[in-house]
Amino acid sequence: MPPTKDQKLNIAVDTALAAFQRGSFPSLQKAAQHYGAPYGRCIRRQKEVPTRSNRPPTNRHLDEAEERSITDWLTQLDAIGTRATLAILESSANYLIWKKNPTSESRIIVSKK
């Protein structure tokens, strides 16, 4: 399968950055222009800024382990024939969030959407 446009740009960015670090170009901007790579992306890659697709979402309240524990618990409830309701899920998530920060004023943190 041929590389996508984004993959081609990433290859160009990697090549431009490597050429600049080897000293083949006097500036990263010149290397980016030569290889057709976006200069801003080259700068961010040089500073090791994670891409948007690799960054964790900013509005996540639970980490991976907490989400996994809720999922496992709901699976166990299902295995014993107990119906897992939205209220159970919300209260579990709110409890885990509250345990991280017990000084929070309100325990209702998870939205009902």
Q: Are residues 30 and 61 in the same domain?
A: no
Domain that holds residue 32: 5-46
For residue 76, CA distances in Å to 18, 53, 84, 90 come to 51, 32, 10, 17
pLDDT tens, position by position, 43-69? 999 999 887 777 777 778 888 899 999
Domain count across the chain: 2
> Are 113 and 62 in a shared domain?
yes
Q: Is residue 52 part of a domain?
A: no
Q: Are 112 and 90 in contact (CB under 8 A)?
A: yes
4-41 pLDDT per residue, tens: 888 899 899 999 999 999 999 999 999 999 999 999 99
Residue 61 domain-assigned (yes or no): yes
pTM value is: 0.52
| pLDDT tens per residue across span 93-105 | 888 888 887 776 6
Structural domain includes residue 51: no
68 and 41 together in one domain: no
Do 28 and 66 belong together in one domain? no
Q: Are residues 69 and 107 in the same domain?
A: yes
Residue in the structure block whose two tokens are 């500036």: 27
| 83 part of a folded domain | yes
28 and 61 housed in the same domain: no
Judgement on whether residues 38 and 61 belong to the same structural domain of the protein: no
Residue 112: which pLDDT band, with cuts at 50, 70 and 90? low
Please check whether residues 113 and 67 belong to one and the same domain: yes
CA–CA separation, 55 vs 79, rounded Å? 34
The predicted pLDDT at position 111 comes to 66
